[in-house]
A and B are shown apart, each in its own frame.
Chain A
Amino acid sequence: MKTGGDLVADALVAAGINFICTLPDWNMARLIERISQENSWIHVRLAREEEGVGICAGAYLTGKTPALVMQNGGLLNSANGLTTTSLQFGIPTLLIVYYAGDINTRYFSTVGDVTEPMLHALGIRYYILRDREAVTRTIVGATVLTMDSKRPVAVLLNRDLLRSEA
């Protein structure tokens, strides 16, 4: 049996991610547990999301394919780093973002309200994952896009997807 978190972890391996920074959210607990168990990457546990933007940038400068796993509140925390490091220098990073405040979640609709407008404002392309069938092709495709465009690309993860089991 695999949860949605397992599918996302498998897809990150398939995408060739080899450097990954994480800061937890309850709904990503299984995903981060899997990330900590894989040997495909260097895993750095963060204390604040914006430092992950810098750490991923440093890793990219040496030839790594980096990903930053966080909640959308952390995406908001990272706005300056994404702008004046990632976008300003042209540095790719796959942003794997738990979408608090998406449909069928409670308590965080405010951060949900501003998540997509913030990504629009920064000119960061994003894809929303709500279905298990789309996980691998979306994460692999978003990784190709971030590396090719040399800009961050975000994949937003819905709660029901992460909690799904099959």
Chain B
Amino acid sequence: MKRIDCLKAIAGKVGDALVVASAGGATVEWYDLHPSDGNFRSRTLGLASSIGLGIALSLPHRKVIVLDGDGSLLMNLCGLSTAAWSGPRNLIHIVFDNSVYESSGSSPTATSGPTDLVAVAKAAGFPRAIWASDVGGFVRAVSEALAGQELTFIGVKVEHGIVPGIASPTTDDTENKYRFMRHIEKLEGRKIFGSGYPEL
């Protein structure tokens, strides 16, 4: 199974869910398939899930999807217990597990050996944590999570390799931040910038 096929299958189904993508190939593919100011691209390996958790806790009425990788999640495994304990019902943590550090030379991760990330998420306390074994199952799992009210972890084993010919997003990081925050202002109908602090 290819990651791009999974992403293509959900690109039309996420509605106005906010999407935080990990540093790595999933980001390049997702930004190409689903360009939106509601996308945020992490630069710190491991922190996409934490950024998504902060958004989900702050906007409990909005769905938040994290597109993560196995290497990234392994760097912040404790984030699973923090998410499970703080318990947002609107967070959907998707991990594309290709068992390699794809963006940094494709050497193997521990999921090529004994580590089972869905089992780890379950043991950390995620009320729903499942492997999707094909594209259809993946789409069903994501659709159910978007329709439901349960903190959800979805793992999917994929081949490694970024689809060739897709250009990286051209927005720089501060532009990504401002576009995302202006998007939140519009979605929520309130001002973020220029409010609440003393003016000279």
Seen from chain A, the residues whose Cβ lies within 8 Å of a Cβ on chain B are 16, 19, 42, 44-48, 50-66, 80-81, 84-85, 88-91, 144, 147-148
With A55-B53, A144-B198 in contact, is A47–B44 under 8 Å at CB?
no
Residues of B within 8 A of A90 (CB): 174, 177
Interface size on B, residues (CB 8 A): 40
Residues of A within 8 A of B78 (CB): 47-48, 51
A-B contacts besides A50-B76, A62-B184, A85-B43, 14 pairs, CB < 8 Å: A16-B196, A19-B58, A45-B86, A47-B82, A51-B78, A55-B50, A58-B52, A58-B56, A58-B57, A59-B58, A62-B58, A80-B44, A84-B43, A144-B197
Residues of B within 8 A of A147 (CB): 197
Residues of B within 8 A of A66 (CB): 54
Please tell me if B47 contacts chain A, counting CB pairs below 8 Å: yes
- Smallest Cβ-Cβ distance to B62: which chain A residue: A62
Seen from chain B, the residues whose Cβ lies within 8 Å of a Cβ on chain A are 20, 40, 42-44, 46-59, 76, 78-79, 81-82, 85-86, 173-174, 176-177, 180-181, 184-185, 188, 190, 192, 196-198
Contact B54 A61 (CB under 8 A): yes
Residues of B within 8 A of A56 (CB): 54
The secondary structure that dominates the B interface is helix
What is the CA–CA distance of A63 and B54 in the complex, to the nearest angstrom? 11
Contact A85 B47 (CB under 8 A): yes
Shortest C-beta distance, B27 to chain A (Å), equals: 14
Choice from A46, A47, A51, A62 contacting B55 with Cβ under 8 Å: A62
Shortest C-beta distance, B195 to chain A (Å), equals: 8
